[in-house]
Structure 1
């Protein structure tokens, strides 16, 4: 993990996140065969499968930097939590808006199958912030969340 996590006031740290959603791990972080395209790709998150409408919670307190719909992730939410960015994709409904402050464990929406998806699930991704053009590096969400929960 980056040294950013040692800064005072940084809440997000190893395996301290609130449960983002109940369900089974359908796909882990790393190389896999893409379920929709069949191609070999690196999966930058963890897919938690359950039924449409399953509650999705903020893993950490922070600020919603995006809440909307676009591309492969469909409806999704991005939350910046003092240097750790969490991404919640393929949502059925959103319960938050851009620039809204959220608390750890608060409902941010429900599970769905929007965007490029093969069934209802939450795509959970984590980036450790950096000032680089990419905005940071993806890391395995299990570094921040005890999954499944």
Structure 2
């Protein structure tokens, strides 16, 4: 079994005979590099300072957005709590007006009159229904709730 070596393409007898430079001759000495332009150095430093300042501003904006998101969540929770409080105050007001406790925590509509019907428990086991007109109508603003006992 014979192994043939392929001839080297770029190696010629002339190239082999040339002297090879040493590594130290290939790298120019430090004194050979020209000094940097001071205006270019100053401009580069000012650009880096501007980039750093913009980064700080972006961090501050991100922090404020996070704070606003937290505040928004808190506001939503407070609104929900306020709605529950208004509902409780409404029940309490009717209790004070009528001397009765609320029978249930729900309201149903009386479709024939377009009023809301609220039911209250009396002290003797019966119930009392209170019709409350819609608040967004002019008639509702002028009239008071009418009490009906059953």
After TM superposition, the score normalised by the length of structure 2 is: 0.22
**Greater strand fraction, Structure 1 or Structure 2:** 1
Which protein, 1 or 2, shows the higher relative CO under an 8 Å CA cutoff with sep ≥ 6? 1
**Greater helix fraction, Structure 1 or Structure 2:** 2
After TM superposition, the score normalised by the length of structure 1 is: 0.22
